[in-house]
Amino acid sequence: MLEYIVPSNMDDRLLSRAAQVLLEGGLVALPTDTSWSITCSFKSSEGIKKLRTLSGEREERHFTLLCSGIAQFGEWCQMDTTRFRLINRLTPGPYVFILKTLRGTEKTLGLRRKELGVRIPNHPVALGITRTLGLPLYSITAKRSMIPGFQEAALPVDTDTPGLPPIPEEELFQEAWELDTIEGLDLILDSGEEQMRIFSTILDISGDAVSLLRPGAGIWPA
């Protein structure tokens, strides 16, 4: 189901409907400040199951927690003054931060890892949904390989370069209607704008130093 939403004047009723879909375990596609994301409520076991199936991945390191602010993930992640200042300086924006979780978080949230990737996107629709829901969203990047029958191009493997493998921009979507070919989506929020086919910058700040895992739209060093 595709619904139009005006970023500069969002309909509260539509935001509430999207939040209800997420609470009931549904998947919602929405625009961000980089590419299209597919999301579920991070407290919905049914939604997370659907997201795993759609992504083809089982580990949470392939998911990003979309939040409206630091407060939405601060209670589950290890945070000190240095990390807080870095995240606060670069957000909202096209950055994903890898953080270690606090003791007990994996059990509470049903995680299989001791790290979380968190992001505060600079887009009113994404921020509006997380604020209305009152919870973070698990998210994955919408890719054409999620379309049944799509043949994903083989990428060369560079064993000398650490970090995540690249994804060609041809795999990404520009228009909301293109996502309608992905099975399992319950709602697509169309902001009426062509989405940029770019990726966020991933910074690992779980250790003593900042490590660039994937260059993207966010400038680093910043």
The answer to whether residue 193 sits within a structural domain is yes
Count of domains forming the chain: 1
DSSP 106-146: HHHHT-SSSEEEEE--S-HHHHHHHHHHTS-EEEEE--GGG
The pLDDT tens digits for 11-39 are 999 999 999 999 999 999 999 999 999 99
Closest Cα partner for 28 from 117, 169, 106, 132? 132
Give the per-residue pLDDT at 222.
83
**Confidence at residue 158, expressed as pLDDT on a 0 to 100 scale:** 43
54-89 pLDDT, tens per residue? Answer: 988 655 556 899 999 999 988 888 899 999 999 999
**Predicted TM-score of the model (pTM):** 0.88
Would you say residue 220 lies in a domain? no
- pLDDT for res 157: 43
pLDDT at 165: 47
Query: Which residues face 77 on adjacent strands?
Result: 101
Residues in the chain, pLDDT under 70 = 57-62, 104-112, 150-168
**156 inside domain:** no
Domain region containing 33: 2-151+161-214
Alpha carbons 63 and 44: distance in angstroms, whole number: 14
What is the pLDDT, as a whole number, of residue 1?
86
pLDDT value for 168: 67
Q: Is 165 among the domain residues?
A: yes
In a domain, 74, yes or no: yes
178 within some domain: yes
The reported pLDDT for the residue numbered 76 is 83
CATH (domain of 126): 3.90.870.10
Q: What is the DSSP string of 1-33?
A: -EEE--TTS--HHHHHHHHHHHHTT--EEE--S
Q: Please report the pLDDT score of residue 161 as a whole number.
A: 41
Other Cβ atoms within 10 Å of 70 Cβ, number: 17
Torsion of CA 198, 216, 70, 14, to 10 degrees: 0
How many CA atoms does the CB half-sphere of 130 hold within 13 Å? Answer: 27
- 3-class DSSP state of 100: strand
90 lies in a domain?
yes
- Closest of 39, 47, 90, 38 to residue 218, by C-alpha: 90
Q: Is 60 part of any domain?
A: yes
Structural tokens at position 195: 């989405």
